[in-house]
Structure 1
Amino acid sequence: MERPGLKPRVVVIDDEEGIRRLFQRLLGKRYDLQTFERGLAALEDLQRTPADLVITDLKMPGIDGMEVLRRVKELDPDLPVIVLTAYGTVENAVEAMKKGAYDYITKPVQAEEMELVIEKALERRRLLLENRLLHRELQEKYSLGALIGKSPAMQQLFRLILTVAPTDATVLILGESGTGKELVAKAIYAHSLRKEKVFLSINCAAFPETLLESELFGYEKGAFTGASSTKKGLLEVADGGTLFLDEIGDMPLPLQSKVLRALESGEFLRLGGRTLMQVDVRVISSTNRPLKALMAEGKFREDLFYRLNTFTIELPPLRERREDIPLLAAHFLRQYATKAGKEIHGFTPETLEILLNYPWPGNVRQLEKAVERAVIMTRGELVEAHTLPAEVLQTAEKSLFKAEPLSFREARQRFERDYLITMLRRHRGNVTAAAEAAGIHRTHFYQKMRLYGISEAEYRNPDMMGEEEG
């Protein structure tokens, strides 16, 4: 396992001394490199000291590369293994990949190709470990019900919820659209003394005044045209439990006075009724509107406001708690990848950087939908940037020039990858046509695609191409 501040540990197994010396010369300064002549000795070492990457020759005396691969996967299924193979035995390397090898390198070893494949394998290892850590953190300390966050603002929110939940105080939840106000209401309910009773919710912005009134208070048979039978309202059904009034700021002014009376006395009349109904209901409300401004304009009752906000909780927008984005993204990725039956282990660094830097005007709800879309578009083990929605990518492109300059090598790799993708898009995934247009041999084009983890299948669907290009 990679250790913070320490070099990644790489184990190389090859019976040729020249190959071992080559790896030592090229990689010895960058990695904690250990070389072995025999597979058995390397496996014994791996049992004592975990590694981040194993590179093994396929053809060796004693235990061959296939057996090394099998035993390494038994030891650690997520430990990447790269196999070395002579050019004429590529078929064996492909068979090894089917059995779990991360990639292969052909002999004679080309330094640039080797370094790039190793970097990608170690990056994948790091992402897998990070994703596992995020999931463990979510389970252990960074979640409360469906709420997720390790930022100081979210940790304070968790404390407020746990403080007010066991009481019967009315709670007013304030926050922008998509910040998770209903999740907060449900978390309060789940930790309350009323958790064994019913939890009901209604969106006050979704109903016209007369219909909202009948939903809340119910009605007697014959109260109005179409009232063919008596119906209990939500206040009555929620007796003993919790009622969540979502978007209370959109409640019509005439109805507010009736709600106030019900909250203060616990009594109300059904529409068309003459018998006072008595209920014991805890009310939690929320809004994304500025209630104090509405009060100043005469659009929201001041007495109702003070009745509702015995305890106020304000939810921060996602842009003010960016440190929570990796946790949230990992949670949504696991949720939607499982639902889709896909093995997706994390996000590429570029994708995660874009997610971190986007302002998320739609907050957590928008992030969730962006990750859901990315899962649908992803065909490999990692979510790549091009699977994100167009508005997210466009913002990332605008901020590209403000970013720290890349090294020459990083810039060249990014250019090569983008160039290959552009040619594949232009020729609808036809590698032969793309290579011909690029002026390079088809085999070389395929090699570059493999190095950068590009699949031509992603660019064969014209509808998908149009969607990606926004």
Structure 2
Amino acid sequence: MSSPALAFEPAGKLHLLVVDEDAAVRTACCEIVAARGYPVRGVADIEAARSLLRAGGADILLIDLKRGSDGRNGIELIEEIKLLQPEIAVIVMTAFATVTSAVEAMRSGATDYLSKPFLAEDLTAILERIAERRRVDAASRVLRERMRQQSGLSVIVGNSAEMEKLYRILSKVAQTSHPVLILGESGTGKELVARAIHAHGPNAARPFLPVDCGSLVPALIESELFGYVKGGMNGATRSRDGLLAMAQGGTVFLDEVGELTLDLQVKLLRALQEKEMRPIGSAQPVPFQARILAATSRDLTTMVEQGRFRRDLYYRLNVVSLRIPPLRERREDIPLLAAHFLERNSRQRKQRYVLSDDALRIMSDYAWPGNVRELENSVERACTLSTGPILHIGDLPTQLQDFRLHAYRTEVDRSKAPEPAHVEQAVQPLAELERQAILGALRDLKGDKLRAARLLGIGKTTLYRKLKEYGISGAGA
């Protein structure tokens, strides 16, 4: 699914090569793509295609998979060309449509798959998807290079207007030593931003020391920050420096600073004001030099008004504030982020993964309450559970499958919507609408649960769970 911010690359820049022994099919394919504005050439055999491709004569290869008269097949050519031209997009087509041949082609490096006979619209849709993927990939490369040159923030992915604004502020605050307050919902990447600020600042060679104020009890947070002397607390058999002292001119990152108790807030404020701290059990203050970065998912302004967060500490930490937008406010970044996580999983598992169009569409429409962290985990889960290189909706986590089922139910409900005068009588509980959608799919498909799950856009496990919930049993339920 394309986003308004993801315009297609001009078609004229993409050159196609069609390889098929069938002259009629070859001519028809050439005419279809030429009508879309793509320069195209057609050849009958693999040897001719090999010569043209070795010379770099195409950006997209449309090739028939069947074995030719010379004994060679398209899979062999795909494997050879992908080694020489990794960026080339490959569309395979065959009259012998099997799951085995599709998986083999995708593992060899194919981008998309067509089963003969196919409509002109099918090929056109694939060309548009490839153009969009190329544009997204190109935008990602340009973005990473620009961030590397300007502020080195290549670990942060996104090119939405919100992220561009964030990059500009980051590149400025990274060169200062002021405290920074990073605001954002859980999972938006607050620690990632803090690490980027430190890594591209003047003291990048110094330590970056994080402390999670939300997961530690107050006594442990105090000892982590300020340290203690021997005998200063229970179990203290030796002295230990706190993070503020250990930073030695580096950065201390206070994650979820809004969770600090008021007593700890007072001690932290005094330390920041005086640039010195008092280890637990010590009578002597110890000077320190560290930059303070703090982050929170809470509304500190409201907490200040309610007396739950000290106003003076808030202003001490909030010299510069950065807000990381939630993923639902920058949906155009979802394809880039998904591609980033897919690339990482592909590299780690030595297996190329591609999201199906339906899966990417659902991911783009989903609200992502867990933000980027939830997206990252969803992609990793899909790669783990997938039986092949193409990740389908059934490979995604349950919450996305349920979201797809509800969307499908809503579409069915809208298509059967009664006249306005009868709307009130026609309103039914959501559970009943969901049950009707499942029953309708099973009835239309003569009880084939696997095909029904695929039609509904959910996993087989989710379908069986729903069948159990609604008391639906039997192959032809």
Give deviations 1:329-379, integer Å, cap 9, x for gaps: 1111111222223222x2111111111110011111111111110110123
SS in 2 for 1:197: coil
1:371 aligns with 2:379: yes
SS in 1 for 2:214: helix
1:176 aligns with 2:179: no
1:18-417 aligned within 5 A: 34-37=41-44, 41-43=48-50, 47=55, 49-50=57-58, 52-56=60-64, 76=85, 78-80=88-90, 82=92, 100=108, 111-112=117-118, 129=134, 132-133=137-138, 136-137=141-142, 139-141=144-146, 144-344=153-353, 346-400=354-408, 401-402=410-411
Instruction: Kindly indicate whether the alpha-carbon contact (under 8 Å) linking 2:107 and 2:352 is maintained by their aligned counterparts in 1.
Output: no
CA distance in 2, matches of 1:69, 1:350: 26
| TM-score, structure 1 as length reference | 0.73
1:18 Cα deviation from its structure 2 partner: 6.2
1:214 Cα deviation from its structure 2 partner: 1.6
Q: Structure 2: which amino acid aligns with 1:182?
A: E
Instruction: Kindly indicate whether the alpha-carbon contact (under 8 Å) linking 1:266 and 1:280 is maintained by their aligned counterparts in 2.
Output: yes
Provide the aligned C-alpha RMSD in A. 4.5
1:13 Cα deviation from its structure 2 partner: 3.6
Instruction: Kindly indicate whether the alpha-carbon contact (under 8 Å) linking 2:15 and 2:57 is maintained by their aligned counterparts in 1.
Output: no
SS in 2 for 1:396: helix
CA distance in 2, matches of 1:296, 1:337: 48
Cross-structure match for 1:11 = 18
Distance 1:354 1:198, change over 3 A: same
Aligned residues: 421
Q: Structure 2: which amino acid aligns with 1:253?
A: L
Structure of greater Rg: 1
Q: Structure 2: which amino acid aligns with 1:170?
A: P
Distance 1:332 1:97, change over 3 A: closer
Cross-structure match for 1:435 = none
Give deviations 1:422-455, integer Å, cap 9, x for gaps: 847499xxxxxxxxxxxxxxxxxxxxx9xx9xxx
Q: Structure 2: which amino acid aligns with 1:382?
A: I
SS in 2 for 1:373: helix
Percent identity (aligned): 33
Long gaps (5+) in structure 1:
407-414, 428-448, 453-457
SS in 1 for 2:235: coil
Stretch moving more, 116-125 or 223-232: 116-125
Instruction: Kindly indicate whether the alpha-carbon contact (under 8 Å) linking 1:205 and 1:250 is maintained by their aligned counterparts in 2.
Output: yes
Q: Structure 2: which amino acid aligns with 1:237?
A: M
Give deviations 1:140-173, integer Å, cap 9, x for gaps: 2368242211011111111111111111111111
Instruction: Kindly indicate whether the alpha-carbon contact (under 8 Å) linking 1:170 and 1:282 is maintained by their aligned counterparts in 2.
Output: yes
Distance 1:133 1:192, change over 3 A: same
SS in 2 for 1:148: coil
Distance 1:329 1:134, change over 3 A: farther
SS in 2 for 1:336: helix
Instruction: Kindly indicate whether the alpha-carbon contact (under 8 Å) linking 2:9 and 2:134 is maintained by their aligned counterparts in 1.
Output: no
Distance 1:227 1:81, change over 3 A: closer
Long gaps (5+) in structure 2:
1-7, 416-439, 470-477
Stretch moving more, 353-362 or 36-45: 36-45
| TM-score, structure 2 as length reference | 0.72
1:396 Cα deviation from its structure 2 partner: 2.4
1:76 Cα deviation from its structure 2 partner: 4.0
CA distance in 2, matches of 1:28, 1:318: 38
